[in-house]
A and B are shown apart, each in its own frame.
Chain A
């Protein structure tokens, strides 16, 4: 085998090894208490019909407010009512537990991404979520 070909083969193997290490990392995250707590909180949230109904209603009203704001017809009373509803919703046990679990998992994931970014000199989140998907 030529040296050039050998280098390509090695490169492919090294990439495969890195992808395998990525899978091992994902499995470790998946088995961590933070992830398990997040999954459990997500399931509990999905099973809570009353909170789900209110969440859907909240999202529908939120969209209406966004539209109104875009087209210059913002209603401050409607916006205040929406904020109030979010405050009330986030106090319900299932949503509160979900948001807390999500925050704790995100903290762990940010540390992981921070370790990768620092070592290789590229912001992992910025490289993988170009333009943040919005704005």
Chain B
């Protein structure tokens, strides 16, 4: 137990909240938040996304069953192309890359001070398979 009676975590969480506030004020995160909201609420781009997912599932099933036809491969590719051509999808993906790049920069700063890779430690694969 730390001196603040919460094993010192409250100071960490307080700094985390300050970091989040500062992050949300940066152009790259603001751009991403706007782009994500548009992406999630735009019916046109959501329809194209659902179409890609549906065709990709059909493709995978056919591949497993050994009934894959060339036409199905073409259909997936065309659906993907329609999705990637949509300006809202393009803006979302670009904004996500930009936000990701800035988050990586913050991770470098944090990891350097701690002497361990913060992102890797909390990452999905946890560094091991």
Asked if B43 CB lies within 8 Å of chain A CBs, one says: no
Q: Does B102 sit at the interface, judged by CB under 8 A?
A: yes
| A63 interface hit (Cβ, 8 Å) | no
Chain B residues engaging chain A, CB cutoff 8 angstroms: 1-2, 7-9, 11-29, 32-33, 36, 96, 99-100, 102-107, 109-114, 117-129
Within 8 A of B (CB), among A97-135: 106, 108-113, 115-116, 119-129, 131-135
Interface contact B32-A120, CB-CB below 8 Å: yes
Please name all residues of chain A whose beta carbon is closer than 8 Å to the beta carbon of B26 when the two chains form the complex: 11, 14-15, 18
Binds B, one of A20-28, A48-56, A72-80: A20-28
* Chain A contact patch, size range: 35 or more
Known: A14-B26, A116-B20, A119-B24. A22 touches B109 (CB 8 A): yes
User: Could you tell me which A residues sit within 8 Å of B by CB distance?
Assistant: 7, 11, 14-15, 17-35, 106, 108-113, 115-116, 119-129, 131-135
Q: Which residues of B have CB within 8 Å of A111?
A: 9, 13
